[in-house]
Amino acid sequence: MGIKPFSTHLHPPHSAKPLLPDAPFPRSPHILDCYFNAATASCARLAAGSAAEVAVRVATGAARCGAAIIRPPGHHAESSVAMGFCYYNNAAVAARAAQAAGARRVVVMDWDVHHGNGTQRIFYDDPTVLYMSTHRYDHGTFYPGTGDATEVRPVPPVLHPSRYQQPALSPFFGMQPSCSLLHNTCDTPTQHPPNRVSLVCTLTTPPS
């Protein structure tokens, strides 16, 4: 398929400058713990655009499923902050692209040793997107320090684990998503030895 850098998924046509400039720039409160080189900005936009393109193809029925094998990752990036080696939140861009293409409800499953603080924060108050995460927490001592099991909204009855044979997946089945996104950053066991993993599900209100 033809892959294009994202544009209208985050910015209106002919809008302000991209969030990441192409040229070197001084320190900014909007950029934390990230490395840059001459190609970072263009690569980050291409990665986000690739995720959006795949999501649109699936949401419109042009493809049954799809995969975007992209770098850099994205789940630490917030709406206005690049952090944790993540520049744009590719999963969030893909979810919004899917919704713009017609998907009413979207589930984002984040499979990574680190909690996707950016994705959770972006969709925390959005009842049309369910964010689920498996990650290492270690009482807040493991990066990024978020993702405690208490960081959830009240679960409506339709999503209660007692209704399902596989309680961990009950929010997914109850949501009845139009589109499902799996975000996997592929951190290796040698970099982060296995430890406690928690399942965090974020949902604000029952799906309509």
Nearest Cα neighbor of 201 from 170, 180, 178 is: 170
Which residues sit opposite 200 in a β-bridge? 133
Place of tokens 């992209």: 70
Tokens of 35: 């490395």
Helices (H), the chain: 40-59, 90-100, 117-123, 170-175
Token pair for residue 97? 């692209």
Of the candidates 9, 14, 75, 76, the residue annotated as catalytic is 76
Q: Quote the tokens at residue 196.
A: 């406690």
CB-side exposure of 170: number of CA atoms within 13 Å? 17
Assess whether 9 carries a catalytic annotation: no
- State how far the Cα of 1 lies from the Cα of 54, in Å rounded to an integer: 9
Contact 161, 133 (CB under 8 A): no
**Nearest alpha-carbon partner for 38 in 18, 20, 16:** 20
Q: Are 102 and 128 in contact (CB under 8 A)?
A: no
Do 206 and 154 form a contact (C-beta atoms < 8 A)? no
Active-site amino acid positions = 76
